[in-house]
Amino acid sequence: MTKPSREPHFPVLTTDADVTTMWRTIIEPLGWHTRRMYFVLVDPDGRPHPNVVELDEMPTAFGADDAARFVELLAMLVSGLGGDACSVALMLARPGGGGLSEDDRGMCRELYAAARAADVRLELLHVATDTAIIPAPMDEILPRTRSA
């Protein structure tokens, strides 16, 4: 087993896989006592800012209003960086194992929908459990709309 590097991780996020690799590289060790959210602001060139923001004691679920208020905060932060071309990488963290729970899916669904309504670009959302970091792709989370 190799030791984690103490060198800074400066990725360029051009694909969903890059976002997954970033979270798996910078969030160690796994294991949570409370629900948390982490986010990183991403410049238009795909370079994440070096500061990871951690929000502790997150609720189990977000309603539409909660998600809209949170995304409003993200919109203000993004506008300070350069606006529409910037994005946000978000990861929810929770105690326990397994894959995406219904609560995880619900929270991701509300965040994706609120971001879409506010025209805030989110990178691929992730959920961290005690054992894994799991991607939560928008096309698997948001309900599909039928064409007329």
Q: Give me the domains of the chain, ranges plus CATH numbers.
A: 16-141 (3.40.140.10)
Answer for the pair 120, 71: CB distance below 8 angstroms, yes or no: yes
Query: Where in the chain does DSSP place strands (E)?
Result: 36-42, 53-56, 87-93, 121-122, 125-128, 133-136
If you average pLDDT over every residue of the chain, what do you get?
A: 89
The pLDDT-based confidence of 123 (bands split at 50, 70, 90) is very high
The pLDDT-based confidence of 21 (bands split at 50, 70, 90) is very high
User: Does the structure show a pLDDT above 80 at 140?
Assistant: yes
When pLDDT is averaged across residues 132-146 and rounded to a whole number, the result is 82
Polymer length of the chain: 148
Token representation of residue 6: 């103490």
- DSSP, collapsed to helix, strand or coil, labels residue 111 as helix
